[in-house]
Amino acid sequence: MQATIEYNSRKYKIDLSKPIDISIAIDVSKKIVNAWGIDDPKIFPVSNGDWVGSVNEGADVNFNNIEFNPHSHITHTECVGHITKEVHSINKNLNQFFFLAEVVTIAPEELENGDFVISKKQLQFALGNKKRDAIVIRTLPNLSDKKVTHYSNTNPTYLLEAAAEYLREKGIEHLLVDLPSVDKEKDGGLLLSHNAFWNTSGKIRMNATITEFIYVPNEVADGTYFLNLMVAPFENDATPSKPVLYKLM
């Protein structure tokens, strides 16, 4: 199935029959991704007196409660409300859902202190003169265990502040990474890359988003795609999301 999309006065053909889902799901029957030192999520049937919301336990429906944190347990998309005193909702600030995106693969650089980072120079090389709405960053090594890693107290790869500033100045509005955060795990609350990307010291970019905990399979080539950034309708700073890529034809 093909579709033609007119975007910024240009027409693109995409193959709708081959969506590339780059989200990580919650599956409590398995080990799942986790960060920030909190317990794993829970999915369990409602209990109301003698009634239990499980067909296996005699109910006519399965009726589950779900306990999770979007920042810790699942692919999620966040708005500037993640770091501001003012309450801002991703559900209100993200009003468009299709974007021209560039998938890039980065081998993080090691700093003298042992940190692994994504630098401005690397992103400049990866993007060149391309004008894109979104960037999808896949880091190396790209093992499937990214989907089940417990990241707490491991000091994962992060973006340097200058790299986030570059993406902002480049006009990138949607930043997607296969990391638990664009910032260093323990940075004393500075959140340099979050602040730089959303421009909190100037005119805040209310429409800009950061999506963390994606996973881009190795068979997906670097290059240009259409991104469908689907989010769950929570009035919150962040919500579970399902970013899907479509190849251009």
Percentage of the chain with pLDDT > 70? 100
Which among 94, 65, 124, 89 is positioned nearest to 207, based on CA atoms?
A: 94
Does 47 reside within a domain? no
pLDDT of 2 > 90? The answer is no
Does 125 reside within a domain? yes
Q: If pLDDT is split at 50, 70 and 90, which confidence band does 4 have?
A: confident
- How is residue 213 written in tokens? 């905990």
pLDDT of 10 > 90? The answer is no
Phi/psi of residue 38, each to 5°?
Answer: -110, 165
Q: If pLDDT is split at 50, 70 and 90, which confidence band does 143 have?
A: very high
Sign of the CA dihedral 207, 236, 159, 33?
negative
What is the per-residue pLDDT across 153-197, written as a single tens digit (0 to 9) for each? 999 999 999 999 999 999 999 999 999 999 999 999 999 999 999
- How is residue 137 written in tokens? 């960053």
Total structural domains within the chain? 1
Confidence (pTM): 0.96
Does 170 reside within a domain? yes
Does 60 reside within a domain? no
Structural domain for 174, as ranges: 2-33+70-247
Does 185 reside within a domain? yes
What is the per-residue pLDDT across 200-241, written as a single tens digit (0 to 9) for each? 999 999 999 999 999 999 999 999 999 999 999 999 999 999
What is the per-residue pLDDT across 91-115, written as a single tens digit (0 to 9) for each? 999 999 999 999 999 999 999 999 9
pLDDT of 11 > 90? The answer is no
pLDDT of 7 > 80? The answer is no
Q: How many CB atoms lie within 10 A of CB 174?
A: 23
What is the per-residue pLDDT across 40-85, written as a single tens digit (0 to 9) for each? 999 999 999 999 999 999 999 999 999 999 999 999 999 999 999 9
**Are the beta carbons of 83 and 206 closer than 8 angstroms?**
no
Does 207 reside within a domain? yes
Contacts 24+ apart (CB under 8 A), 104-112: 104/135, 104/136, 104/137, 104/138, 104/222, 105/138, 105/139, 105/140, 105/142, 105/222, 106/137, 106/138, 106/139, 106/140, 107/139, 107/140, 108/139, 108/140, 108/157
Q: What is the mean pLDDT of residues 15-32?
A: 95
At CA 94, angle to CA 93 and CA 95, rounded to 5?
A: 105
Does 49 reside within a domain? no
- How is residue 189 written in tokens? 């609350």
CATH number for the domain harbouring residue 186: 3.50.30.50
Does 61 reside within a domain? no
